[in-house]
Every structure is written in structure tokens, then in C-alpha cells.
């Protein structure tokens, strides 16, 4: 802590620090001395590379060359275009059929068939007994016991 080997003492002995400033005047003088692109590179249509010292707002571009249309390429391209159009038409006709088959498959495979809830017969027997004997609910005790036993068996089977 504060000895001669601390970082503060070593940073002063590294040497003088300096910085470089680039002014607008320097940029303009460099820009005026920029090499002019040769005509051969612009004729080929290859874009010129941006020098690292050139600001991004002054990127030189070369115009794209114009190539004459090749009628032979167009005539050989027409059968391919026709075949592509026929395939697109066939796809648009087949798409509804495929979607229908997918929906049918999803209905059949991913939705289990509905089955009656467990103990539904015992439950219905209990309810009908209570509806037919509103004044004498003790007559329904065998049906209630059967429903209760079914529910207990189901709870034990699923646990």
C-alpha cells in the first residue's frame, strides 16, 4: 500500500502520453489528394473499395455496367417458367385437399373418443331414487352406498 511497487508509480514511468487530432482541414486536404479510380475497374462494374481514411458520407461508387439482353437465354428460360407456373397452380389445387386430410388425421389421432364419466350409472340411480322418493330419502341408501363405493374404488385406482 503506497510502496514503490504500486500501480501509481509505475504508470508515470511508462513514458509520455500523446493523442492525435484530425481536423476538418486535414480531412479536406487528404480528400483532395485521393487517388482517382482507373477506368478499367469502373468498366468492369466492380465497386471501388472505400479507403479507411475517407469519411463514410463520401463513398465512391461505380455505375453498374449494362449488358445486352440475350434472346437465347430468354427462349431457354420460357419452358422452365411455364413448368414453374404449372407447379404453382397444381399446388394451389392440392392445398385444400391436404388441409382436409390433416384435419381428419388430427381429429382421429389426437382427440380421444368421448367416454362416459366413471360411476355415471350409480349416480343416475341415486338421482332417480331421490326424485321418486322425496319424502323417504332413507330408501335410497343402497344406491348411495353403491355410488360411494364406486367413487372410492376409482380414487384408489387413480392414486
pLDDT (0 to 100) of residue 68: 63
Written as nine digits, the cell of 125 is 340411480
pLDDT (0 to 100) of residue 139: 92
Residues with pLDDT less than 50, the chain = 1, 6, 8-11, 38-42
Q: What is the pTM (predicted TM-score) of this model?
A: 0.32
Contact 139, 129 (CB under 8 A): yes
pLDDT (0 to 100) of residue 88: 93
For cell 463514410, what's the residue?
56
Radius of gyration in angstroms for the set of CA atoms belonging to the chain, rounded to a whole number: 44
pLDDT (0 to 100) of residue 41: 46
pLDDT (0 to 100) of residue 48: 62
Query: How does DSSP classify residue 14?
Result: S
Contact 65, 45 (CB under 8 A): yes
51/31 Cα distance (integer angstroms): 10
Amino acid at each position: 500500500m503506497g510502496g514503490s511497487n504500486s500501480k501509481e508509480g509505475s504508470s508515470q514511468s511508462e513514458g509520455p502520453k500523446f493523442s492525435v487530432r484530425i481536423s476538418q482541414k486535414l480531412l479536406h486536404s487528404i480528400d483532395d489528394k485521393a487517388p482517382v479510380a482507373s477506368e478499367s475497374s469502373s468498366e468492369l462494374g466492380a465497386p471501388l473499395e472505400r479507403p479507411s481514411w475517407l469519411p463514410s458520407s463520401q463513398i465512391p461508387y461505380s455505375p453498374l455496367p449494362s449488358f445486352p439482353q440475350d434472346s437465347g437465354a430468354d427462349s431457354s428460360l420460357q419452358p422452365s417458367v411455364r413448368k414453374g407456373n404449372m407447379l404453382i397452380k397444381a399446388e394451389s389445387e392440392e392445398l385444400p385437399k391436404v388441409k382436409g386430410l390433416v384435419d381428419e388425421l388430427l381429429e382421429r389421432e389426437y382427440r380421444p373418443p368421448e367416454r362416459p364419466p366413471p360411476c355415471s350409472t350409480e349416480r343416475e340411480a341415486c338421482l332417480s331414487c331421490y326424485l321418486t322418493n322425496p319424502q323417504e330419502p332413507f330408501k335410497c341408501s343402497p344406491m348411495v352406498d353403491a355410488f360411494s363405493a364406486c367413487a372410492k374404488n376409482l380414487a384408489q385406482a387413480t392414486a
